[in-house]
């Protein structure tokens, strides 16, 4: 998902995406520890998405004042 697409989401949708991304990161780390993860590049991709969502949420929070 591109940054422009994330910015277009509402606050509730952002919260839902954040929750799903955190759960996905947990699952990836679990699969990594049990040697079942095939593509190791998935973890940084999900971490980046979490950071983008948190950044956009913070920007909106600061804009509201």
User: Could you tell me the two tokens for 42?
Assistant: 């998935």
Place of tokens 């919260």: 15
What domains appear along the chain, each with residue ranges and CATH number? 3-64 (1.10.287.310)
- Which pLDDT belongs to residue 29? 97
> Closest Cα partner for 11 from 63, 60, 65?
60
SS3 label, residue 14: helix
pTM, entire model: 0.91
> In degrees to the nearest 10, what's the CA dihedral of 18, 23, 28, 32?
130
CA pseudo-torsion sign 47, 50, 52, 58: negative
pLDDT single digits (tens) 24-62:
999 999 999 999 999 999 999 999 999 999 999 999 999
């Amino acid at each position: 998902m591109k940054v422009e697409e994330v910015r277009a989401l509402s606050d509730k949708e952002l919260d839902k995406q954040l929750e799903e991304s955190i759960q996905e990161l947990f699952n990836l780390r679990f699969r990594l520890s049990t040697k079942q993860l095939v593509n190791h590049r998935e973890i940084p991709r999900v971490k980046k998405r979490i950071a983008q969502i948190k950044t956009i949420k913070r920007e909106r929070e600061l804009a509201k004042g």
